[in-house]
Amino acid sequence: GCVLNGKLYPLGQIERTEDCYRCSCSQTAMHCCSIYSTPVVYDKENCKVVFNKKSCDYDVVQRKDPSKECHAVARV
């Protein structure tokens, strides 16, 4: 298997790790990429970005009331 951040994963495809990555584990290497996108264009003055580990994505929420979402225009 392969070890990522102290956790052992089996050989083959890993659809989602605990840290929100999709990985391929072989006997010689482990290759991973994130399964989330990062908001880059949003109202930075009134909103903030918070990582949601349950959904493996970033939420853009209002600074004054984090229970309310903000609109993100672009993600990378």
Looking at the predicted structure, is the pLDDT value of residue 59 above 90?
A: yes
Q: Measured between alpha carbons, how far is 6 from 46 in angstroms, rounded to an integer?
A: 37
Domain made up of 39-75: CATH architecture: Single Sheet (2.20)
pTM over 0.75: no
d(CA 54, CA 5): 18
Among 4, 27, 29, smallest CA distance to 17 is for: 4
pLDDT tens for 25-55 read 999 999 999 999 999 999 999 999 999 999 9
Residues 6+ apart with CB under 8 A from 73: 41, 42
Cite the residue boundaries of each domain of the chain with CATH code 2.20.25.590. 39-75
Q: Are 76 and 37 in contact (CB under 8 A)?
A: yes
